[in-house]
Amino acid sequence: MAIKKDISQAVIKRLPRYYRSLKLLSSENIKKVSSKELAEMLDITASQVRQDFSNFGEFGQQGYGYDVDKLKLEFEKIIGIDKTYNMIIIGAGNLGKALNSYSGFVSSGFNIISLFDIEDKSNENILSIDSLTKNFIEENSIDIAIITVNSDSAQSIADKLVKCGVKNIWNFAAIDLDVPKDVNIENMFMSDSLFVLTYKMNH
């Protein structure tokens, strides 16, 4: 899947939305979909759908549209969810534990290997942060680390993860982490989202 030019952030953020619609259509046993229909589902224009898709290849057929299941598979390849990933969680607070026990991950190919905490909670099957080593990351082929510690400790955890060779971080702490540019970060800033909501309420 050699991609010519850089895909814009705007397009990348729409990929999961396309995928969600395709999953929905597929689950309803719908076989074909046009750019116009997809556009309506995402509340964008048909032009944009076709423009977006053209970044990755030619998936449709003139006069017909797109085969839902085929397109869904293409999107799984594009997003990279045709593979499985091993994850660890750092921070065994309420959120960390909630993510740890969320079964939806496993069914989508995301396996949580272990849950770490700064404080010693070894009684609850939670590992001490001291056992988080380069060795551990390598032996367990950890692809993604999820940070759910509080924002004060998040940067030092990120530093440690980077040192251990983690290349992908899913960050829930309300702070912009500073990491080398070969490390991917994706933030889930909950309070930012809540603030956008309060902004809208007030205007």
From residue 49 to residue 88, what is the string marking binding to DNA with x (rule CB under 7 A)? Answer: -xx-xx---xxxxxxxxx----------------------
Quote the CA–CA distance of 135 and 133 in Å, as a whole number.
5
CB 87 within 8 A of CB 143: yes
From residue 68 to residue 87, what is the string marking binding to a copy of itself with x (rule CB under 8 A)? Answer: ----------xxxx---x--
Instruction: Compute the radius of gyration of the chain from its Cα atoms.
Output: 20
Nearest of 19, 21, 31, 157 to residue 92 by alpha carbon: 157
Nearest of 13, 91, 7 to residue 57 by alpha carbon: 7
Among DNA, a copy of itself, none, the one that 19 touches (CB under a kind-dependent 5 to 8 A) is a copy of itself
User: Distances in Å between the alpha carbon of 38 and those of 2, 50, 67?
Assistant: 25, 10, 12
Q: Which residue, 9 or 191, is less far from DNA as judged by CB?
A: 9
Quote the CA–CA distance of 142 and 13 in Å, as a whole number.
24
Q: Which residue, 144 or 161, is less far from a copy of itself as judged by CB?
A: 144
Does 46 engage in binding with DNA (CB under 7 A)?
yes
Nearest of 38, 47, 45 to residue 20 by alpha carbon: 38
Q: Please state the closest distance from residue 67 (CB atom) to DNA, in A.
A: 10
Residue type, 189: F
Q: Which residue, 7 or 95, is less far from DNA as judged by CB?
A: 7
Which residues 95-124 are close enough to bind a copy of itself by CB under 8 A? 95, 97-99, 101-102, 104, 108, 110
CB 35 within 8 A of CB 54: no
Quote the CA–CA distance of 196 and 186 in Å, as a whole number.
18
Among a copy of itself, DNA, none, the one that 62 touches (CB under a kind-dependent 5 to 8 A) is DNA
From residue 15 to residue 44, what is the string marking binding to DNA with x (rule CB under 7 A)? Answer: -------------------xxx-------x
Quote the CA–CA distance of 8 and 4 in Å, as a whole number.
12
For binding to a copy of itself (CB under 8 A), which residues are involved? 3, 7, 12-13, 15-17, 19-20, 78-81, 85, 93-95, 97-99, 101-102, 104, 108, 110, 143-144, 167-168, 170, 174-176, 184, 186-203
Q: Which residues bind DNA (CB under 7 A)?
A: 8-11, 34-36, 44-48, 50-51, 53-54, 58-66
